[in-house]
Amino acid sequence: MTRTRLLFAIVTLLGVARGLPAGAQVRGTILGPGARAYPIAVSPLKNDGTGGADIGTRFADVVNRDLTLSGYFKVLDRAAFIEAPESSGNTTESIAFEKWSVLGAMALVKGAYAVEGDTLTLEARLFDVYQRRQIVGKRYRGSAEEMRRMAHRFADEILAQFTGARGPFDSRLAFVSTRDGRFKELYVMSLDGQDVRQITRNRTITLSPAWAPDLSALLFTSYKRGNPDLYMIDLMTAREMLLSDRRGLNLGAKWSPDGSKIAMTVEDNGNADIVVLDRSGKLLRRLTDNWSIDVSPSWSPDGRQIAFCSNRSGSPQIYVMSADGGEGRRVSFSGTYNTSPAWSPTGDKIAYVSRMDGGFNLFVLDVANGQARQLTQAAGNNEDPTWGPDGRYMVFSSTRSGRKKLYLTDATGATQVQLTQGGGDDSSPAWSRWLD
């Protein structure tokens, strides 16, 4: 696998939120996910108040998990830490950097928090251990229930400082699961696999969730009336609205990047074609109209093109067409069964699934040169790719461990980590954009 080498001599400093001290320089080399990792220590935060005794430790746990998932860092074992957070400093002047250097840490996360009534105020700082200087600091304020999101946001900030691009952790995954029985229901969770929340309770088959660009709603297909119909669920009110109940398939719906239109597959006299609807489900136009089976539309990030799967050449392959319709252009040429395209948010790649040796694996196509690279080679089937908001990571479903579970991979395939556990099958992941 090709490994992306992220070389930097100086990381440009970001201003520190709300009057925290200015940042510093970080010098060194970070290798991409799956290669040699950058050693970092994440200390539990110091409690500067009287409430929320375990918040500092739980914050560190979330940041630890996020940085480990990223593949860029070697997070040092907390059991080896020499100093306790409650009796040590958390500013440049008060930190005993030599104690962290002895452990091999090149970077250090420290900070403090206080709970007053229902309000949590939390400060987190990232330090360069070698130069004994602060790189960046952030202050967050909200309810104690928002602590996990504060940690995800700070993990995103750490990746931004070391790689030049924001991390993907302040986001959500929607997926389909049978974890609570034999029915396929819709769930939402954070990327670290925590705070799983069940969204639908229709006791039937649910398929193909897709986020609205403003994250207010999810599209999905449900058999709750016997036919695979398209619905939208408002995530604030839990109200489900029927958008398309055309006889036969109403499947694989995806919002356009501006949220004004929906591309999906419908069935007409046994033939599957791609159409565009408005937000209310009204048919705007038919994009394909031929004998072939055309499914799985995926918008380009600028909304001008749509990738899709078609068997018009004799076997399922990936095509790209204008979002206004017209002839499609075939872009996949290796393999005889390619499906489930997913256009990256950076616009330069299309992930898809290819059948090989009786199983399914993930590939990534370079849009500019047409070259495809295989990402997964594990046993079982690896399907349902969905890109993270930063375009560096994907989540997919795999049966490599037996039941279908969700996995995270970077865009090179070097780092692959299981996200979901427990009973039941987890499939059809849909990764949201950043929460703000």
User: What would the 3-class secondary structure string for 98-140 be?
Assistant: HHHHHCCCCEEEEEEEEEECCEEEEEEEEEECCCCEEEEEEEE
> What is the pTM (predicted TM-score) of this model?
0.89
- Whether residue 32 is predicted with pLDDT greater than 80 in this model: the reply is no
Task: Give residue 36's pLDDT band: very low, low, confident or very high (50, 70, 90).
Answer: low
Tell me the per-residue pLDDT of 181-205, one tens digit each, with 9 for 90 and over: 889 999 999 998 889 999 999 999 9
Question: In this structure, are 81 and 225 located in the same domain?
Answer: no
- Whether residue 299 is predicted with pLDDT greater than 70 in this model: the reply is yes
Find out whether 242 and 281 touch, Cβ atoms under 8 Å.
yes
pLDDT higher for 99 or 2? 99
Contacting residues for 45 by C-beta, under 8 A, at least 6 apart: 55, 56, 59, 60, 85, 90, 110, 111, 112, 113, 122, 124
Question: In this structure, are 106 and 76 located in the same domain?
Answer: yes
Find out whether 414 and 401 touch, Cβ atoms under 8 Å.
no
Find out whether 345 and 301 touch, Cβ atoms under 8 Å.
yes
SS (H, E, C) the chain: CCCCEEEECCCCCCCCHHHCCCCCCCCEEEECCCCCCEEEEECCCEECCCCCCCHHHHHHHHHHHHHHHHCCEEECCHHHCCCCHHHCCCCCCCCCHHHHHHCCCCEEEEEEEEEECCEEEEEEEEEECCCCEEEEEEEEEEEHHHHHHHHHHHHHHHHHHHHCCCCCCCCCEEEEECCCCCCCEEEEECCCCCCCEECCCCCCCEEEEEECCCCCEEEEEECCCCCCEEEEEECCCCCEEEEECCCCCEEEEEECCCCCEEEEEEEECCEEEEEEEECCCCEEEECCCCCCCEEEEEECCCCCEEEEEECCCCCCEEEEEECCEEEEEECCCCCCCEEEEEECCCCCEEEEEEEECCEEEEEEEECCCCCEEECCCCCCCEEEEEECCCCCEEEEEECCCCCCEEEEEECCCCCEEECCCCCCCEEEEEECCCCC
Question: In this structure, are 426 and 400 located in the same domain?
Answer: yes
Mean pLDDT of 316-331: 95
- Whether residue 107 is predicted with pLDDT greater than 50 in this model: the reply is yes
Q: What is the CATH number of the domain that holds 235?
A: 2.120.10.30
User: Within a domain: residue 168?
Assistant: no
User: Within a domain: residue 333?
Assistant: yes
User: Within a domain: residue 268?
Assistant: yes
Tell me the per-residue pLDDT of 73-88, one tens digit each, with 9 for 90 and over: 999 999 999 989 988 9
Question: In this structure, are 296 and 352 located in the same domain?
Answer: yes
User: Within a domain: residue 181?
Assistant: yes
Question: In this structure, are 220 and 130 located in the same domain?
Answer: no
Residue 171 burial by Cβ neighbours in a 10 Å radius (0-12, 13-18, 19+) = buried
Spatial distance between the Cα atoms of 320 and 363, rounded to a whole number of angstroms:
16
Domain that holds residue 313: 173-431
Question: In this structure, are 138 and 257 located in the same domain?
Answer: no
- Whether residue 317 is predicted with pLDDT greater than 80 in this model: the reply is yes
Question: In this structure, are 276 and 150 located in the same domain?
Answer: no
Nearest to 160 by CA among 348, 62, 36, 15: 15
Question: In this structure, are 73 and 11 located in the same domain?
Answer: yes
User: Within a domain: residue 252?
Assistant: yes
For helices 147-163 and 55-70, what crossing angle results, to 10°? 40
Nearest to 424 by CA among 410, 403, 396: 403
Question: Where is the domain boundary, 130, 163, 196?
Answer: 163
Question: In this structure, are 188 and 156 located in the same domain?
Answer: no
Q: What is the mean pLDDT of the chain?
A: 90
Tell me the per-residue pLDDT of 331-371, one tens digit each, with 9 for 90 and over: 999 889 999 999 999 999 999 999 988 899 999 999 999 99
User: Of all residues in the chain, what percent carry a pLDDT higher than 70?
Assistant: 92
User: Of all residues in the chain, what percent carry a pLDDT higher than 90?
Assistant: 81
Q: What is the CATH number of the domain that holds 29?
A: 3.40.50.10070
Number of domains in the chain: 2
Question: In this structure, are 214 and 147 located in the same domain?
Answer: no
In the prediction, which pLDDT does 369 show?
94
In the prediction, which pLDDT does 16 show?
25
User: Within a domain: residue 396?
Assistant: yes
Question: Where is the domain boundary, 131, 163, 195?
Answer: 163
User: Within a domain: residue 47?
Assistant: yes
Residue 152 has φ and ψ, to the nearest 5°, of -60, -40
User: Within a domain: residue 156?
Assistant: yes
Mean pLDDT of 397-418: 94
Question: In this structure, are 140 and 190 located in the same domain?
Answer: no
- Whether residue 278 is predicted with pLDDT greater than 60 in this model: the reply is yes
Contacting residues for 44 by C-beta, under 8 A, at least 6 apart: 56, 57, 59, 60, 78, 85
Question: In this structure, are 129 and 197 located in the same domain?
Answer: no
Question: Where is the domain boundary, 163, 198, 225?
Answer: 163
